[in-house]
Amino acid sequence: MSHRPALQKEITSLLESIAFRGEVRFEEPLAGHTTFRIGGPAAAMLSPAGPEETVALVVALRRRGLPYRVIGNGSNLLVSDRGVRAAVIKTRPALDRLAAADNLIEAGAGCLLSRLCRFAAKSGLSGLEFLAGIPGTVGGAVVMNAGWGGKSTGEAVESVSFLDPSGRVRRRKASRCGFGYRASRFRKSGEIVLSAVFRGRSDDPGKISGRMTGILAERKASFPGSLPGAGSVFKNPPGDFAGRLIEKAGLKGKRIGGAGISPRHANFIVNRGGAGSEDVLRLIELARERVAADFGKRLELEIEYWPPGGGRGSRNVPTGKNK
């Protein structure tokens, strides 16, 4: 996807105006920043030098009306092969802080969940083991209320720090974050998660690590192997499982181009080599159509798709979240 030099010129001017100290890469392929290993170039990939610079950057982009998106580990995300005409802000390692005190852990939005879990175990704080093995960041987990084994992120959260649309950094108690099944208010509010405080319970570090090891083994046995993917593609419909419905519809193992519905778990689409975004989108539509026809149930996406075009701040695409 060709991005107009005018946008990159505007981004360059903006970065100079805030004395940006982070890393800048123009026309950066997003395939290297997503677990799907799919995605065309961003107009610019911006990696701020720290939390303050991250906030200053978003505020400046908003004031100038320039399109932007936010990315963490790129899990749970499918990006168009044509890329995005936007500045993509990378939260890792800018928002990667970890600190523990009084059975609480504060973790930056860019912190990997695996790192958070190891830190909690070392600190002797139990309650976050269920997050072990989820290949995302704290920001993404909060936004989508990620979970495993009947537990979800929101249940362990005490409060969330975020940047509101007016450019103010605020903190909100978990009870006011609108946590639901794979949902939170941050998915549509235009607020950007900066950090979260998690509650823990004192426990023996060895016992915590042992439980984490068990959960990791369960995930490894249940989910596809090493092929690139983005986790569960669809939310489970009420009273049922998306993977069961897709399998019953006869689509387990179905391939289109380089993408395929996993033969191990039908709610996973994997990149078998050279897959493009259109291959994945065609499989998504096929699964939706077949499940609707066979069972009368609508499958709702759990992953997020970035279509070609702008991001938050642009006039025509009013979206943009931590991913």
User: What one-letter code names the amino acid at 156?
Assistant: A
What's the Cα-to-Cα distance from 186 to each of 5, 58, 127, 164, 232, rounded to whole Å?
32, 16, 23, 10, 20
- What pLDDT is attached to residue 319? 33
What's the Cα-to-Cα distance from 23 to each of 50, 96, 255, rounded to whole Å?
11, 16, 38
Task: Look at residue 300 and give its three-state secondary structure.
Answer: coil
- Over the stretch 267-289, which tens digit does the pLDDT of each residue have? 999 999 999 999 999 999 999 99
Q: pLDDT band at residue 28, thresholds of 50, 70 and 90?
A: very high
Question: Which ranges of the chain would DSSP assign to H, the alpha helix?
Answer: 5-17, 51-64, 113-122, 138-144, 153-156, 205-222, 242-248, 277-295
CA-closest candidate to residue 161, choices 115, 198, 113, 197: 197
Distance CA 37, CA 275 (A): 9
Please, which residues bridge with residue 23 across strands?
Answer: 47
Query: Which CATH topology does 234-301 take?
Result: 3.90.78
Q: pLDDT band at residue 35, thresholds of 50, 70 and 90?
A: very high
Mean pLDDT of the chain: 93
Distance CA 196, CA 239 (A): 31
Neighbours of 194 (CB within 10 A): 26
Distance CA 271, CA 280 (A): 8
User: What one-letter code names the amino acid at 266?
Assistant: A
Residues recognised as catalytic: 182, 232, 302
Distance CA 314, CA 4 (A): 14
- What pLDDT is attached to residue 310? 73
Domain ranges across the chain: 5-94, 98-208, 234-301
- What pLDDT is attached to residue 4? 65
Distance between the two ends of the chain, CA-based, in angstroms? 21
Q: pLDDT band at residue 226, thresholds of 50, 70 and 90?
A: confident
Statement: residue 290 has pLDDT above 80? yes
Average pLDDT over residues 199-223: 93
Statement: residue 322 has pLDDT above 70? no
Question: Kind and range of the H or E element at 263?
Answer: none
Statement: residue 15 has pLDDT above 90? yes
Asked if 309 contacts 316 with a C-beta cutoff of 8 angstroms, the reply is yes
Statement: residue 316 has pLDDT above 80? no
- Over the stretch 41-70, which tens digit does the pLDDT of each residue have? 999 999 999 999 999 999 999 999 999 999
Q: pLDDT band at residue 315, thresholds of 50, 70 and 90?
A: very low
- Over the stretch 228-237, which tens digit does the pLDDT of each residue have? 999 999 999 9
Q: How many CA atoms lie within 13 A of 226 on its CB side?
A: 0
Peptide linkage before 93 cis (omega within 30 of 0): yes
The domain 98-208 having CATH identifier 3.40.50.1220: the answer here is no
Distance CA 114, CA 94 (A): 17
Residue 185 DSSP class: G
- The correct CATH number of 5-94 out of 3.30.43.10, 3.20.20.80, 3.40.50.300, 3.30.750.210 is 3.30.43.10
Q: pLDDT band at residue 1, thresholds of 50, 70 and 90?
A: very low
Asked if 111 contacts 71 with a C-beta cutoff of 8 angstroms, the reply is no
Tell me how long the chain is: 323
Average pLDDT over residues 305-320: 58
Distance CA 224, CA 221 (A): 8
Distance, C-alpha 74 to centroid of its chain: 6
Task: Look at residue 181 and give its three-state secondary structure.
Answer: coil
Is the pTM higher than 0.85?
A: yes
- Over the stretch 243-265, which tens digit does the pLDDT of each residue have? 999 999 999 999 999 999 999 99
**Tokens at 249, concatenated:** 């519809």
- Over the stretch 174-199, which tens digit does the pLDDT of each residue have? 999 999 999 999 998 999 999 999 99
Percent of the chain, pLDDT > 70? 95
Q: pLDDT band at residue 225, thresholds of 50, 70 and 90?
A: confident
- What pLDDT is attached to residue 312? 61
Distance, C-alpha 22 to centroid of its chain: 22
- What pLDDT is attached to residue 221? 84
Question: Kind and range of the H or E element at 195?
Answer: strand 192-199
- Over the stretch 66-99, which tens digit does the pLDDT of each residue have? 999 999 999 999 999 999 999 999 999 999 999 9
